[in-house]
Amino acid sequence: MSQIHEECGVVGIFAPSKQDVASTVYYALYALQHRGQESAGIVVNNDGVFTAYKDEGLVNDVFDHDRLRRLGEGNMAIGHVRYSTTGGGGRENAQPIVVNHLKGNMALAHNGNLVNSYELRSELEGGGGIFHTTSDTEVISYIITKQRLGASSIEEAVLSSMDKLQGAYSLVVMSPSKLIAVRDPHGFRPLCYGQRDDGAYIVASESCALDSIGARHIREVEPGEMLVFTKDGVHSDRSHCGGEKKLCVFEFLYIARPDSVIEGHSVHEARRMAGKFLAEQYKIDADIVVGVPDSGIDAAYGYAQASGIPYGIGFIKNKYIGRTFIAPSQEAREDKVRIKLNVLGAAIKGKRVVLVDDSIVRGTTCGRIVKLLRDAGATEVHMLSSAPPFLNPCYYGTDIDSKENLIACHHTVDEIAKIIGADSLGYLDVNKVAYLNGGDGSGYCTACFDGKYPTPTPAKSKKSCFERWERPISENPKYKGMEE
């Protein structure tokens, strides 16, 4: 895909006294590194003075001991990890965003994607707004700032801004005296909070981040809810609650860490259930079940349990390279596959293999993995995907912007099996995907599989927006004759 959009992780801390909040956010971001590997950033609040640093790279590359020390102590901080590709990369798009306005400072970090970003940005530009990034986050910060200038408090400004925002947004917002966590009315992206024994409150995209810093998980931020953390405690505003819950089901299938709990459901158990459903759908005569590290392993284990075929370790993963799914370019993705996985030949040679992966998007990665198994001596390779076929773009923050490179949009299942070199191929039934947590099948967004979008879809693609905002003005027909 030529344009891959962000899927990020956010963290916030409100402590009862000044302390090394930067290190706390650092460790929490480290636990969320799987959600974004392109850039990282932290902003510390010390009595209303904001100290920020952000850059491209992994968390431990961006922040060393000296950099954390220079951020200083404070009683609040927010942090962010991000990924994107050529359309929205670069240090300028790293988060959090810091705004200095007439009524003080504000810092903001965002996970998600707005569906009306183009319209909002065009309206703001028409009123004289000047943008320095191509991210939705700057649009959100601009709107909150405008609302704040006429509002009596930051929380009032955030609430009024929610009336203008459409799509997915899980936010942490920091003012000189308050930390705010807010989730869009559909709850597309996860957001939870907890508390440490020292009284500090922590907000994070996933519960694994709370675990990493010794915080007790309290609950999820409800869809449409705003939580305000102050020295007087936690205040909840639910004036935007009550909409149809639509958590992205791909959080359970791929994005989230298996040790996280989202809305009371174990990610590990959801993936194991996907494997069980696959075993009910596909009766395969095989010798071993193998999962593709990391997010395919739990589903493979579930398939093995339900089918009675032994589960085995088929791949050794290089732990020092990140996810191919979020690599910035096709060439980079393919390079990573070559060094990311090595087959455990003794377990595979002469075996009929059931290979389980979390999804098939472009088909290039799984084709290479099938070849690895063939080269190691597998006599048969039967590929199973614990996700249904991707048939539609996602407008809410996941890495699927168009149908152009979705292999299932252009080929039948049998054709795809042949393309990737597998003896057979099976996908999880789309009617099963919303039941991964043993519930009634409601409350999840499955639009990338079935095309049932919970919101209006964007009038313009993100790609066309990037083209407008990033082309030299001399190449933009809208501004012809205005070069000077």
Q: List residues with catalytic annotation.
A: 8
Q: Calculate helix-pair angle for 154-162, 136-149, nearest 10 degrees.
A: 120
Choose among 70, 78, 133: nearest CA to 110.
78
219 in Cβ contact with 193 (< 8 Å) = yes
d(CA 109, CA 95): 6
143 in Cβ contact with 120 (< 8 Å) = yes
164 in Cβ contact with 109 (< 8 Å) = no
d(CA 287, CA 307): 11
d(CA 154, CA 134): 24
Q: How many residues are recorded in the chain?
A: 484
Strands 179-183 and 341-343: unpaired
Question: 10 Å Cβ neighbour count for 20?
Answer: 17
Choose among 368, 317, 318, 377: nearest CA to 345.
377
Cα-trace Rg, the chain: 23
172 in Cβ contact with 158 (< 8 Å) = no
For residue 199, give both structure tokens: 């009284």
Reduced to 3 states (helix: H, G, I; strand: E, B; else coil), residue 76 is strand
DSSP secondary structure string, 40-60?
EEEEEEETTEEEEEEEES-HH
d(CA 272, CA 253): 10
